[in-house]
Structure 1
Amino acid sequence: MSNQGNQTVFLSTIVLISTFGGLLFGYDTGVINGALSTMTIALGLNAYTEGIVVSSLLIGAAIGSVSGGRLSDAVGRRRTILYLAVLFFFAALGCAAAASIPFMVACRFLLGLAVGGSAVTVPAFLAEMAPAERRGQLVTRNELMIVTGQLLAFVINAIIGVTMSGSGQVWRYMLSIAALPAIILFFGMLKVPESPRWLLVKGRDQEALQVLRQIREEQQAKTELSEIQATLAEEAGVKKATLKDLAVPWVRRIVLIGIGLSVVQQVTGVNSVMYYGTEILKNAGFSMEAALIGNTANGVISVLAVLVGMWLLGKVGRRPLLLAGLLGTTSSHLLIGISSQILAGSAALPYVVLALTVTFLAFMQGTLGPVVWLMLAEIFPLRIRGLCMGICVFCLWITNFFIGLFFPVFLTTVGLSSTFFIFAALGFASIVFVKICVPETKGFTLEQLEHNFRNYGDSAIQKARTKPM
């Protein structure tokens, strides 16, 4: 194999191993979907305590996203992912062993710390390892692994739920399986090098060049090293990233864009489907076993849609994909709300709702899912990337927390139809935000994007908006 072939294989191996963090993210957020019904009986949950158990992971993820970003800036992306693998392992086993609501909530919170930390660290690590021309494709592989983890959770839930129907302990088996990918992630990351950009920030230039030579051609490695060094030289007078950096107008602007993108992704209600999909289908009229099996369709379409989205990212700009995705998800919400009213009590309703949730996820996971995570990994300057991504992903998880907490309450009190009309209204507001505020980032290196944002006010961002697709 040629030297270039070895570099390509090694980079692909790095991506595969590190994205097991995304697989764990997906499995641990998706497994509750099928485990909740039997857990409700075993632990004596009601609509409110269901929301608390589900959302305790999300508040942990919000905190983990901030602390994970800061930790990765301090000790490195690689070491942070190793720490997260250990936390994933023990928290998953704790959830499976829980005998009370408080213990379950505590373990779900710890699991959330790992989920939030991986949500920040893995995309940043991938963005810093990837060459500019492949960044979109490689970073969105983490999104593919997230939805693959959710699909695995749905399939395993269905298999265990159907074959062990009647067992009060079925949810414990579902939750414990999450410990296995954590083992693979830990031992795999022991063989993975550190991000060259992080090494350069720490003044370890020779180590950075050695890593670049492992994943780039010689000339490309030297050129990229020089570009990163030039960017760092520009920022030589900048102190360590703190919240005071947000006082700089151009930094504050991109942080607000990042927060907006994070909120937009979550107010689509995607995680109401991923956490409560089985409950939604039961509410529409399916039996428990049929709902578990039908819910696997949500996982399958999510994986297929992300694959299509990864292909589209190489062909189409980020903004057009965001707008197309929001139009599709908002329309799906409207149709779910309307059909739930028109077909109430009909035998056709559960199948219509399943078809529309699948359509919703096709738009969501093929556009908004991968694009938002990619843009969050792209738009922030190197020195404050961990801090800013942490802030934005914190806002993402807080939004997710409130949706996870209140969705079962809304489903019980106002019904399926009104709940999805609320999501549709939020979707219209999101379309307006993206149209007015979000710039194009496709086709720029990370260093060029930083230069464009720094010089916002003349034509830099306008050029970014109108960059050919």
Structure 2
Amino acid sequence: MYKSDSHSSPQLNFFLILITTIAAIGGFLFGYDTGIISGALLFIQSSFSVSVMTQEIIVSSVILGALAGALSSGRLADSFGSQRMLLAMSVTFIAGTLISACAPTITLLILGRFIIGVAIGITSYVSPLFISEMAPARHRGSLVLLNGIMITSGEAIAFLVDYLLVPTQSWRLMFATGLIPAAVLFTGMLLLPATPRWTALKGQMEKSKKILARIRHSACVEQEWNEILRLADRQRSNWSDLFSKSLRPVLMIGLGLGVFQQFIGINTVMYYGPSIFKAAGFQSQSSQILATFCMGMVNTLMSIVSVILIDRVGRRRMLLIGLTVSGASLYLIGYVFSRHTHQSLDIWISFIFMIIYIAGYSMSLGSLFWLVISEIYPLNIRGLAMSFATAAQWAANFIVAATFLSTLNAFGPAYTFWGYACMCIISLVFCYYLVPETRGVSLEQIEHNLRLGKRSRDLGQPISALT
């Protein structure tokens, strides 16, 4: 049997909702600053007459920065806390945005994007960690997925801003709009406390319990406080502990989900959407960017649906359904491209299948990667392990972004999308055999199951006998 507080958890209070909303602005910036390049790239090409390889470098520079940020994020968050890190990253977002928007040369533009990438890499891990450690088990899935909604909302709004600013043909103005959410994050994080789990790990017990009392109903504080105390006594871990035999199963889950999230091709649409729709037959720049915006809106809407369903349907089922939908759609997209007709009907069929692909992705790996890695690791190793998983995700992201245009030119869109469909099948098998169902199970109980040596997919609800 497993413990669950799904029946005893109170309703969410205003302060906890405020915490989640402000922290999720970090997710919004993640989506906005990765999405804005999609339309800006069209006008950077004309400003600097850049080659295909230079375009890939501009796009992938932010990902290299994110990889560097992700590798350092675990230790930084363990040392300074996720609240302080989100505050520091808001300043980093502002600095990188100013350099990018004002860059007189490609070199400075790449530098500015790299700095933004560092902030994205750290924030992409710190935001869900902060929310997860603040949330009660009953609502943890929904609250962490609000960060995912903000990521997809950031992407969609970035595509809309690109579309609205097409008449100006100003990529500088497109980049500069990112200053607004960064300033909001900075202001908001000044108001928030550190998480009770982090303060307990730092020995600040009285402060930790006071924070917990602000975000929980009084009847639930003592039980959760005792669980935090039981785990806070454990020693801080290092890189060698991360690769220990007992942690390998969850390490493999985080690593695999991060890699598969990118290898099924999602960010080809987010970074190179206009180029893909140009290949599909959309003629004008405005129509290419508008089609990309529609993809972003579908991504956002399905993220909202995921929040509604996640604590009812469960993590595993949503992963398996979403990956099946995405894989089938990618195969059909490849088939339409293989016809080489560019007829009006085929253009719209490819667009519809692209929407279905985005919908399947959003309800599976798009949202659930960030949730699962915030749940499955022990408290004393959580920061380091999430950092490692996030770094793997950004490394895979870099490989896809840095090679997509070249792959498209070498093999054509049909074989490119069929390759992504194959990766969906592999990830589906991976999730079926390894990923646990953590719905309604406390973080402390998941850790207890891991230390008992239970199979990886039984770390939450026991499912081996059922599947």
TM-score range for the pair, normalised by the shorter chain length:
over 0.9
Tell me what 1:465 maps to. Answer: 463
Please show how residues 329-368 of structure 1 align to structure 2 within 5 Å.
329-368=326-365
Tell me what 2:244 maps to. Answer: 248
State how far apart, in whole Å, the 2-side matches of 1:14 and 1:462 are: 26
- The Cα shift of 1:7 comes to 6.9
Tell me what 2:161 maps to. Answer: 156
Match of 1:52 among 39, 44, 57: 57
Aligned 8 A contact 1:129 1:195 in 2: yes
**Structure 2: which amino acid aligns with 1:204?**
Q
Please show how residues 369-448 of structure 1 align to structure 2 within 5 Å.
369-448=366-445
**Structure 2: which amino acid aligns with 1:205?**
M
**Structure 2: which amino acid aligns with 1:437?**
L
Aligned 8 A contact 2:242 2:384 in 1: no
Tell me what 1:231 maps to. Answer: 231
**Structure 1: which amino acid aligns with 2:29?**
L
State how far apart, in whole Å, the 1-side matches of 2:463 and 2:242 are: 23
State how far apart, in whole Å, the 2-side matches of 1:43 and 1:379 are: 46
- The Cα shift of 1:171 comes to 0.9
Structure 2 gaps of 5+ residues are: 1-8
**Structure 2: which amino acid aligns with 1:100?**
T
Q: TM-score, normalised by structure 2?
A: 0.94
State how far apart, in whole Å, the 1-side matches of 2:186 and 2:422 are: 42
Report whether the alignment pairs 1:62 with 2:60: no
**Partner SS state of residue 277, structure 1:** helix
Tell me what 2:172 maps to. Answer: 172
Question: Which stretch shows the higher mean deviation, 384-393 or 350-359?
Answer: 350-359
Aligned 8 A contact 1:201 1:232 in 2: yes
Percentage of identical aligned residues: 35
State how far apart, in whole Å, the 2-side matches of 1:468 and 1:444 are: 18
Q: TM-score, normalised by structure 1?
A: 0.94
- The Cα shift of 1:347 comes to 2.8
Please show how residues 179-190 of structure 1 align to structure 2 within 5 Å.
179-190=179-190
Aligned 8 A contact 1:132 1:445 in 2: yes
Please show how residues 5-84 of structure 1 align to structure 2 within 5 Å.
8-84=13-89
Q: Cα RMSD over matched residues?
A: 1.9
Tell me what 1:311 maps to. Answer: 308
**Structure 2: which amino acid aligns with 1:275?**
Y
Tell me what 1:117 maps to. Answer: 122
Going from structure 1 to structure 2, the CA distance change for 1:196 and 1:95 (only over 3 Å counts) comes to same
Per-residue CA distance 1:390-415 (angstroms, 9 max, x = gap): 00000000000010000111122221
Per-residue CA distance 1:102-161 (angstroms, 9 max, x = gap): 211111111110001001101000000001100001011000000010111011111111
Please show how residues 187-266 of structure 1 align to structure 2 within 5 Å.
187-233=187-233, 235=234, 238=235, 240-266=236-262
State how far apart, in whole Å, the 2-side matches of 1:464 and 1:258 are: 19
- The Cα shift of 1:310 comes to 0.9
Per-residue CA distance 1:312-335 (angstroms, 9 max, x = gap): 101112111111111111111100
- The Cα shift of 1:461 comes to 4.1
Question: Which stretch shows the higher mean deviation, 283-292 or 75-84?
Answer: 283-292
Aligned 8 A contact 2:446 2:459 in 1: no
Question: Which stretch shows the higher mean deviation, 223-232 or 328-337?
Answer: 223-232
Structure 1 gaps of 5+ residues are: none
- The Cα shift of 1:5 comes to 10
State how far apart, in whole Å, the 1-side matches of 2:279 and 2:455 are: 53
Aligned 8 A contact 1:441 1:464 in 2: no
**Partner SS state of residue 462, structure 2:** helix
State how far apart, in whole Å, the 2-side matches of 1:456 and 1:5 are: 31
State how far apart, in whole Å, the 2-side matches of 1:373 and 1:40 are: 33
State how far apart, in whole Å, the 1-side matches of 2:219 and 2:54 are: 58
State how far apart, in whole Å, the 1-side matches of 2:374 and 2:30 are: 17
Please show how residues 94-109 of structure 1 align to structure 2 within 5 Å.
94-109=99-114
State how far apart, in whole Å, the 1-side matches of 2:398 and 2:408 are: 16
Going from structure 1 to structure 2, the CA distance change for 1:31 and 1:463 (only over 3 Å counts) comes to closer
State how far apart, in whole Å, the 2-side matches of 1:248 and 1:87 are: 34
Tell me what 1:325 maps to. Answer: 322
State how far apart, in whole Å, the 2-side matches of 1:139 and 1:422 are: 31
- The Cα shift of 1:351 comes to 2.0
Aligned 8 A contact 2:439 2:461 in 1: no
**Partner SS state of residue 438, structure 2:** coil
Report whether the alignment pairs 1:453 with 2:458: no
Aligned 8 A contact 2:438 2:460 in 1: no
Aligned length: 457
**Partner SS state of residue 380, structure 1:** coil
- The Cα shift of 1:467 comes to 9.2
